[in-house]
Structure formats: structure tokens, C-alpha cells
Chain A
Amino acid sequence: NAGVTQTPKFQVLKTGQSMTLQCAQDMNHEYMSWYRQDPGMGLRLIHYSVGAGITDQGEVPNGYNVSRSTTEDFPLRLLSAAPSQTSVYFCASSRGGTGTKTQYFGPGTRLLVL
């Protein structure tokens, strides 16, 4: 199993550009989440999904969109990039219901917005 994969690993954007961060998992997990990591702030939840077709907002959703058309994929879209969105983005997945509650993380995408 590849686990949780993220692409790209690095990205530089100009203010106002849009892009999609890709996330995929091959563990048939129901739950998927997007976090951003900033120094001294831990990981903050952007959006999450409890199954295909179901998404919800986390702590810092503004400026980001998500969709979940399949169990495997959970892309994160930046609509109009801003310097405040410079961060490291992590995707995670876990089993739902009475599962082990362990979240598995991807390697991250480093985004710089100029």
C-alpha cells in the first residue's frame, strides 16, 4: 500500500493564482482531512470529509474548497492564493465508525505564495 500520497511536494504561486493540491489514499478509509501547519500553531483543520459526497468545514476554511467524489481522492483547491496561505499542507485519512481512530498523514505539500 502507498498509504496517503500528496502532490505536488513544492509549489510557488503568485498572489491571485489558483491551484489544486492532490491527496489520495489506498486504504479504503472513510475519513479524510486537510490541515495546514504554521510555526508555533500546530496543525489546524481546513476541511474534512466523513465519506464520499460529504464534506464539512474545519477551523480555517476561508479561501479553500474541497470535494469528495470518490473514497480515494480528496483534492484541496485554493481559489485565489494569498501570501497568508503560505504554509505546509498535510492530508490525512482514517477509518470511520468504530475503527482505530488513528489518522495516517501524507508527506505534505510546501506552498509559497508571493
Chain B
Amino acid sequence: AQSVTQLDSQVPVFEEAPVELRCNYSSSVSVYLFWYVQYPNQGLQLLLKYLSGSTLVKGINGFEAEFNKSQTSFHLRKPSVHISDTAEYFCAYLETSGSRLTFGEGTQLTVNP
């Protein structure tokens, strides 16, 4: 079955530390991959996406992710986090021939001073 797994439900880090949020997917067909962010009491907004081309994707707010087809992963990274990065982060995939976006369970990133 197709699925997305976010390996950590909560990630606490200190301000200015690096962070990696892990995402693995399972699909028998080609997919597009996304990371969305949800700030408290708000809707979701797109951080970055992989559609094709370079496997290293840069997004907003200094985040980047690397698509690894052999490991079926799409981990999100930031070299130095800020308090304002505290939010819930969702990994998602879309089959290239489909229209249904499938989300992981989410990772709560908490940045402490």
C-alpha cells in the first residue's frame, strides 16, 4: 500500500542548532514529494517540493530537502533554526498520474531558546 511515514512525532532542538526531520515513503509508482508547514492555529503552507530534476530542493525560510529514490526518503533539513520555526511539519506525496495528496502524521518541531 502507498504510504508516507514521518519517523519522529516530536523534535525538540535549541535555537541555532541544525535540524533534520525524516520522511520515508512507500509507492510502487512515481511520485512528487512535498513538505508543508503549519503554524499554530493556521492552515498549511508549502515549504518546498520535488517534482523532477535536481534531487536537492531548496524552499522558503532556509529549509532544504533531498530526494533519495533508492532509500525512498525525502528528509527536511535546516542548518540553523530559529524560535519562529516552531511549527508542525508534514511530508506528503502525490502520484505523478494522480490527484490525491497523501500526508504523513506530522512532526512537531519545537525550538527552545
Which residues from chain A sit less than 8 Å from chain B, CB to CB?
4, 31, 33, 35, 40-45, 48, 50, 58, 90, 92, 96, 101-103, 105-108
Size category of the binding interface on chain B: 20 to 34
Could you name 9 residue pairs across A and B whose Cβ atoms are closer than 8 Å?
A31-B99, A33-B100, A40-B106, A42-B6, A42-B90, A43-B90, A43-B103, A44-B103, A48-B99
Contacts of A44 in B (CB 8 A): 103
Which residues from chain B sit less than 8 Å from chain A, CB to CB?
6, 9, 32, 34, 36, 42-46, 49, 51, 90, 94, 99-106
Greatest chain B CB density within 10 A among A31, A92, A96, A101 is at: A101
B82 to chain A, nearest CB (A): 23
Contact, CB under 8 Å: B46 / A42: no
Per CB-CB distance, the 9 closest pairs between chain A and chain B, nearest first, are A105-B43, A42-B103, A42-B105, A43-B103, A105-B44, A107-B43, A42-B106, A102-B46, A101-B32
B73 to chain A, nearest CB (A): 17
A59 to chain B, nearest CB (A): 8
